[in-house]
Amino acid sequence: AEFYSSIHEMTKVFGYEQRLLLHMQKFIADNESKLDFLKARLIEFERERDEAASEGVAYFQSPLNKFVLTKRLTLDWQRVENLMSTETGSMALGRLHKLRRNKRMPSSGEVAGAIDGLLRLQYIYRLPTKDIAAGILDGVPYGTELDAQLCLDIGRQALQDRKTLLAHSWALEARQRLNEESLELQPQILALLVETKVELEDFQGANSTYHELIELQPASEQHAKNYETFMQANKDKLSQSKNITDEHDPVPEDFTGLPDDILYRYTCSGHIRPPPAEFRDLRCGFMSETHPFLILAPLKVEELQREPLLVVYHDVIYQGEIDIIKNLTKNRFERAQVMGDNTSVVSTVRTSQFQFMPKTTHKVLQTIDERVADMTNLNMDYAEDHQFSNYGVGGHYAQHFDYFLPPAFETNQVSPVEWGNRIATVLFYLSDVAQGGGTAFPRLKQLLMPKKGSAAFWYNLHASGAPNEQTLHGACPIIVGSKWVQNRWIREYIQGDKRPCEVWDDSLASYSQIKNLKHKLQ
């Protein structure tokens, strides 16, 4: 199993640790009683030796003593030897060994996954390194401090991810957190610091940190060699210095034209927001007139965007239903995947756990679909299986489109293909999230915060069926909490009479897109 991508899974780890602790206690107790027995024997044997030594030859003249000594040298010492050579606590050790190798236990690869999540949080929400290390996330203290080793591990992974400013700050933090116990890490920390300083072009700083490192381990040939390579490569730049205090790139003043991953980042962090003018016409309430389909459903709806339509319904899934769903999905989650070139793959683009469930599984899923039909006026006969996702701390789903692109059709990843593309998405929030975890629409400048019981609805396609690229969206990383969502992906098939095309006449925009799409297909 994989734990770091889901809080739901993570809670099971506590149970495992509890059992590991019991085995360890048993192991210690067994060994302690063995040592107690051996210590008592030792004292006894020493006492008799002292007696013999003080009495001298007279000691051996007593037949009784002769007997005692002989017995001790044979039987007693044999028992001691036997005891010393038995592996005490082997039963407890065996159990611990077996439990640790259980395939449901987290593996060492999970540490990398967990660090990856932490770095993503820090990067997107611009969290200060010293706060995270002190156990403070986005201003809230959680009482867990990170030690020098962990700070070093995080720094190394940041460097690997090319987040050099972060790597530098984690190396500094690791150095600050060195203590007697962890002093042996100092050379590794200095080495990381050198690497990051070189990358950030603080050659003077790198040079002096190299000196520190060599002073610390003057005998190391490796350091000498590395230093020589460094000097050869940078000898003309040694006067170049930089006071690196930043941990993050500066926030851009203007976001136009920036790549989608950057837009996603700043939408999640709240730096990208719709300008007030865009709110002017938007409505909220028990709407029935703005869009024809709402006549059917006097639901509590909030309009976030007209073009393309993006609305949020409030109180459209109930606690009783959520309880049933949590029960149905129990122990059935697996690591979420994304579409790869030919097949689905695990990726850091999407770190959560998910499962699909046919609507025939339980009546509650049919009830929900009837409600979705009321909310959207779409035909739910051609909706995919219900998808449930659970995100853990640091879990996210990077910017993506819900609609299928031509390659997905070509590689048979659209099933069933006759149902066409995903015309619309309804995303139910089955939980609140304490911190982070919004759904970001970078091109619409919208950030929806999960609220238990509400649901977002948007069309992925233009009325013509062409993909609407404005619908790019993603699930921002969770800072604190466990996020549960349920997806309804509604497909195009026989929605023709349902979707009120005349209200959203986007035929012009989609014409060029269709051409573009055809071009891509050729």
Ligand X SMILES: O=C(O)CCC(=O)C(=O)O
Name the CA dihedral angle for 350, 355, 356, 360, rounded to a multiple of 10 degrees: -160
**151 contributes a contact to ligand X by CB under 6 A:** no
For the bound state, the minimum distance from the C-beta of residue 490 to Fe ion, rounded and expressed in Å, comes to 13
For the bound state, the minimum distance from the C-beta of residue 386 to ligand X, rounded and expressed in Å, comes to 12
For the bound state, the minimum distance from the C-beta of residue 414 to Fe ion, rounded and expressed in Å, comes to 15
> How far is Cα 53 from Cα 39, in angstroms, rounded to an integer?
21
Residue closer to ligand X, measured from CB, 116 or 402 = 402
Q: Which of residues 412-471 bind ligand X (CB under 6 A)?
A: 427, 439
**Residue 190 interacts with which of ligand X, Fe ion, none, CB < 5 to 8 Å by class:** none
For the bound state, the minimum distance from the C-beta of residue 402 to Fe ion, rounded and expressed in Å, comes to 4
Cβ pair 125, 268 in contact under 8 A: yes
> How far is Cα 459 from Cα 490, in angstroms, rounded to an integer?
9
> How far is Cα 186 from Cα 484, in angstroms, rounded to an integer?
42
Long-range contacts of residues 134-138, Cβ cutoff 8 Å, at least 24 apart: 137/435, 137/479, 137/480, 138/435, 138/436, 138/479, 138/480
**Residue 115 interacts with which of Fe ion, ligand X, none, CB < 5 to 8 Å by class:** none
Residue closer to ligand X, measured from CB, 170 or 397 = 397
Q: Which of 500, 386, 404, 478 is nearest to 4 (CA)?
A: 478
**Residue 267 interacts with which of ligand X, Fe ion, none, CB < 5 to 8 Å by class:** none
How many alpha carbons lie under 13 Å from residue 159 in its C-beta half-sphere?
21
For the bound state, the minimum distance from the C-beta of residue 350 to ligand X, rounded and expressed in Å, comes to 8
> How far is Cα 453 from Cα 486, in angstroms, rounded to an integer?
11
DSSP 407-467: HHHHTT-SSSGGG-SEEEEEEEE-S--SEE-PEEETTTTEEEPP-TT-EEEEESB-TTS-B
> How far is Cα 407 from Cα 384, in angstroms, rounded to an integer?
19
Residue closer to Fe ion, measured from CB, 122 or 454 = 454
Q: Which of residues 331-390 bind ligand X (CB under 6 A)?
A: 389
- Residue 30: phi and psi, rounded to 5, are -60, -45
Residue closer to Fe ion, measured from CB, 116 or 402 = 402
Q: Which of residues 485-504 bind ligand X (CB under 6 A)?
A: 485, 487
For the bound state, the minimum distance from the C-beta of residue 188 to ligand X, rounded and expressed in Å, comes to 38
For the bound state, the minimum distance from the C-beta of residue 215 to Fe ion, rounded and expressed in Å, comes to 54
Which listed residue (195, 402, 492, 506) binds ligand X by CB under 6 A? Answer: 402
Q: Where are the alpha helices (DSSP H) in 235-318?
A: 260-268
Judged by CB under 6 A, the number of residues near ligand X is 9
**475 contributes a contact to ligand X by CB under 6 A:** yes
**397 contributes a contact to ligand X by CB under 6 A:** yes
Q: Which of 209, 176, 211 is nearest to 195 (CA)?
A: 209
For the bound state, the minimum distance from the C-beta of residue 350 to Fe ion, rounded and expressed in Å, comes to 9
**Residue 439 interacts with which of ligand X, Fe ion, none, CB < 5 to 8 Å by class:** ligand X
Cβ pair 495, 383 in contact under 8 A: no
Residue closer to ligand X, measured from CB, 174 or 485 = 485
Under the rule (CB under 5 A), what is the footprint of Fe ion?
402
**Residue 390 interacts with which of ligand X, Fe ion, none, CB < 5 to 8 Å by class:** none
Residue closer to ligand X, measured from CB, 172 or 430 = 430
Give the interface with ligand X as residue ranges (CB under 6 A): 389, 397, 402, 427, 439, 473, 475, 485, 487
